[in-house]
Structure 1
Amino acid sequence: MTYYEEAMEMKDEMIRQRRDFHAHPETAWTEFRTTSFIAEELQKLGYEVLMGSDILDEGARMMVPDEKTLKQCAQRAIKEGANPVLVDRMKGGMTGCVGIMHFAKPGKTVALRFDIDSLFVAEDPAPSHRPSALGFQSKHPGLMHACGHDGHATIGLAVARLAAAHKDRMAGTLKICFQPGEEGVVGAKSMVRSGIVDDVDYFISGHIGLGNYHDSSLVCMTQGFLATDKMDAVFTGAPSHAGAEPEKGKNALLAAAQAAISLHTISRHSGGSSRINVGVLEAGTGRNEIPANGLIKFETRGETAEINDFMVREAKRMVRAAAMLYDVGVEILPRGSATSSNSSPEMGEEIYQLIEPLHVYSHVAREQKVSGSEDCCYFMSRVQEHGGQAVYMLYGTEEAAGHHQSDFDFNEDVLPRTAGTIAFLVEHFGNQ
């Protein structure tokens, strides 16, 4: 029996698992229940399970919620069935886990990465939205798996089952990384800096949909993810009555507004694509008060890490200049980042030559250019820098709506098909 056939026999179980994850979404660094369920399953399958500081560089984490929020989310997870012992191992929001299995036959080290977090999106309650119609909509108000990470976690567990069931076919070492905090690109850097993939020869990750919206299709490698930095600039001035003593005020609103305009004047880079965007501007308390506080939330992107670094330097210069112009203070806070990366052409071509003749998919594409950013690029770059190869694939599926939308959903047929593909590739590359 092939991996695809076995995966298809697991389809109903995978759908149940995906819908359970979907109903219990958890955002970055609060994935206590999700991690607990994954870790327990990996342990049952015989994997060594690493958690906490064994897989995360605590100092490299970004946008970690406050202790009160973390405690509330941990308690909610336990109430919803999480293992209290495992939740305790995730104190401080050290979520995510890595399952490791060493096979008897010597071979290469293969690593997989699956992101597991959800979004701050309120799910569509309309009966036209399948999760709402079938009763597996989010149980957590304001949170939703609106990007397919519930499916990614499910696929990762299915691959773990298939690999464990066929130890005799496998070789080398398999590492399955279940990463917290992909949304906002706040999680991968921490996991990569732990060194967990430094010995990896072949690395595989990917995404449901993401521009590949056709059922029964596969993109073997992607190119073009942009490096990015997310930042907040907090301006602090001095309040004063706008009519009585305007000269005593220091206007943080004007500084923030000036910065927002100035950021969009940064020169484009001749070396490749570059981006800048201010998405939020907040300031002021009333029409008759000189605003003492201002906030902008912005991001830079670049086709390469070097181009993005140029954008970051210029952005910080512009923000500080705006603060100086209005004689107010400013603090620039990092809120997420990802480097740029491209799939290894040799590995992508090899995957194409392996998968296309199997006729499992109606369409197999060698590569596709993507836009946007993905913190999986930290994994890919680290593996490539250490002499390994890495690919980021796209798992084709029809979607009910675009990613990050309140009525997002996907065709669950993609789950077993993808799990079978990845298990097949784990065997192939481990035996290289």
Structure 2
Amino acid sequence: MSFAFSISQEKLVEIRRVLHQHAESGLSEFWTTAYLAKELSEAGFDVKVGHEIFDVSKRMGLPDEATQQARLKAALEQGADPEWIARMDGITGLVVDLRPDLPMHTVLRFDIDAVDVDESSEGDHLPAQEGFRSINAGECHACAHDGHATIGLGTALELLRYKDQLKHNIRIIFEPAEEGSRGAAPMVSAGVVDGAKYFFSAHIGVNARQDHELVCGTQGFLATTKFDVEFFGRSSHSGADPHEGKNSLLAAASATLNMHAIPRHGHGNTRITVGRMESGTGRNVIPSYAKLLCETRGETTEINDYMFEKAKLVIEHSAAMYEQDCKITVMGQAGCAVSDRLMIDLVKTVSEDVPYFHRDLLIEMGQGFGTDDACAFIQAVQKQGGYGTYAQIGSSLPVGHHNQRFDFNENLLQPSVELFCRMALAMDALD
């Protein structure tokens, strides 16, 4: 089947650069959601947002109210449609259906959030050079989600031309807060993949670092738990009354060192990281508060649970040693999933009709690269008897992901839209 585009490569680049410039952190993608919703609505989609697609009782890691209000204000000042902002009711992300009148069948997923990184302003960094560097300080599309959202929008618009030929409904999910593993679980709980038989998602780059490369399926994702730890002690004068203090910084330091000393599990890979420590007010004051931002990972959900339970023991005993109250708050969670052979074969077959992808650079099954929230969607579809896969779209990269100089080859945008459209139509033809 020949594929004639109604949306040009130049238009896709324009969309990508607009999204890149308006990078927004997870659960705060107000401008991004409003932009996508307006584009899709004007094309004729019935766009679903807010509580209809997101179970707030399952939400984790929501930024504090002051941060959310500041980001919401910034989105409106940057031109976000007030009507869509109101309809979202503080909840980001959206869902559209190609044929809501037909049985639920196929799901495509695209993540939309940015990374908490200040983007480079150096002259040889393309977004800075071409004038589409992020306008939001501390928020940067350093993981290609601007590309994913662009491909998702392009795919939705292209599939409209095939709407009357479909046998089933095709649902397109624009997921918020993939970073930190916070977006998928509330969407799954809200029922966005209920009844789905087939699921497809992809990531630009990661372990596919060559242009024209395509990885058809992925295994080896790590389950994860993201959590914050707070220690509450007592301040005192460090010279006159140090014995009156209860040092929260020392409790946090003890917990940090001993969490990294947890014995590794014999049945699979494990990870633990304390990525940030906050404590103290001055050199002569015993710190009365400390906060740690942490994560565990494991080759299976059970192995990750082992790491998290051991971490909690270390934290609780560190608190006891330094006479602290402590609080552990789970900020995000994800399991692990393996792509299904049926879907890997389908990606392989479909990609042969997309000239951009070279057969000698096609890999059937690739390795995961940490954690991706798509696993929650894949697991949910597989549990109801369906199939899923997670592809990796090759791109040369100037630096690795989550770096302030991250960028990708925009030439992959239109071929990726074609790949998703061909996959959607191929899945629709399956029972």
TM-score, normalised via structure 2 length: 0.95
Contact 1:237 1:249 in 2 (8 A): yes
Report matched runs for 1:273-284 at 5 Å.
273-284=269-280
Deviations along 1:28-80, one digit per CA (max 9) or x if unpaired, are 12211211121122223332211101100112222222333323322322332
Deviation of residue 282 (structure 1)?
2.7
Gaps spanning 5+ residues in structure 2: where? none
* Equivalent residue in structure 2 for 1:160, among 156, 162, 165: 156
1:81 is matched by which residue type in structure 2?
A: G
Rounded to whole Å, the distance in 2 between the matches of 1:145 and 1:215 is 20
Report matched runs for 1:338-353 at 5 Å.
338-353=334-349
Q: Determine the structure 2 residue equivalent to 1:336.
A: 332
Gaps spanning 5+ residues in structure 1: where? none
Deviation of residue 191 (structure 1)?
1.2
Q: Determine the structure 2 residue equivalent to 1:112.
A: 108
SS at match of 2:252: helix
Q: Determine the structure 1 residue equivalent to 2:287.
A: 291
Rounded to whole Å, the distance in 2 between the matches of 1:274 and 1:18 is 35
Contact 1:169 1:427 in 2 (8 A): no
Q: Determine the structure 2 residue equivalent to 1:42.
A: 40
Find out whether 1:81 has 2:89 as its counterpart: no
Q: Determine the structure 1 residue equivalent to 2:268.
A: 272
Rounded to whole Å, the distance in 1 between the matches of 2:34 and 2:22 is 12
Rounded to whole Å, the distance in 1 between the matches of 2:362 and 2:380 is 27
Deviations along 1:140-174, one digit per CA (max 9) or x if unpaired, are 22221111111111100111011101124432001
Report matched runs for 1:196-275 at 5 Å.
196-275=192-271
Contact 2:217 2:344 in 1 (8 A): yes
Rounded to whole Å, the distance in 1 between the matches of 2:326 and 2:65 is 26
Deviations along 1:329-385, one digit per CA (max 9) or x if unpaired, are 111111222111111122112322332466541122101112311111111111111
Contact 2:111 2:176 in 1 (8 A): yes
Contact 2:207 2:369 in 1 (8 A): no
Report matched runs for 1:8-27 at 5 Å.
10-27=8-25
Q: Determine the structure 2 residue equivalent to 1:99.
A: 96
Q: Determine the structure 1 residue equivalent to 2:323.
A: 327
Rounded to whole Å, the distance in 1 between the matches of 2:215 and 2:413 is 15
RMSD (CA atoms): 1.8
Find out whether 1:66 has 2:68 as its counterpart: no
* Equivalent residue in structure 2 for 1:127, among 123, 126, 134: 123
Deviation of residue 107 (structure 1)?
6.9
2:20 is matched by which residue type in structure 1?
A: H
Contact 2:202 2:392 in 1 (8 A): yes
Q: Determine the structure 2 residue equivalent to 1:414.
A: 412
Q: Which runs of 4+ in 1 moved over 3 A?
A: 356-360
Report matched runs for 1:183-202 at 5 Å.
183-202=179-198
Deviations along 1:113-134, one digit per CA (max 9) or x if unpaired, are 1011112211111221111111
Contact 1:103 1:173 in 2 (8 A): yes
2:2 is matched by which residue type in structure 1?
A: T
Find out whether 1:54 has 2:52 as its counterpart: yes
1:76 is matched by which residue type in structure 2?
A: A
Find out whether 1:307 has 2:303 as its counterpart: yes
Rounded to whole Å, the distance in 2 between the matches of 1:256 and 1:183 is 25
Contact 2:207 2:367 in 1 (8 A): no
Report matched runs for 1:367-406 at 5 Å.
367-406=365-404
Deviation of residue 209 (structure 1)?
0.5
1:290 is matched by which residue type in structure 2?
A: I
Rounded to whole Å, the distance in 2 between the matches of 1:311 and 1:270 is 12
Q: Determine the structure 1 residue equivalent to 2:351.
A: 355
**For the structure 1 residues 136 and 310, does the alpha-carbon distance in structure 2 shift closer, same or farther, using more than 3 Å as the test?**
same
SS at match of 2:24: coil
TM-score, normalised via structure 1 length: 0.94
**For the structure 1 residues 159 and 403, does the alpha-carbon distance in structure 2 shift closer, same or farther, using more than 3 Å as the test?**
same
Rounded to whole Å, the distance in 2 between the matches of 1:77 and 1:408 is 23
Deviation of residue 289 (structure 1)?
2.8
Deviations along 1:237-259, one digit per CA (max 9) or x if unpaired, are 11222332222221212211111
Contact 1:230 1:336 in 2 (8 A): yes
Q: Determine the structure 1 residue equivalent to 2:2.
A: 2
Rounded to whole Å, the distance in 2 between the matches of 1:248 and 1:58 is 42
Contact 2:210 2:396 in 1 (8 A): yes
Rounded to whole Å, the distance in 2 between the matches of 1:211 and 1:57 is 32
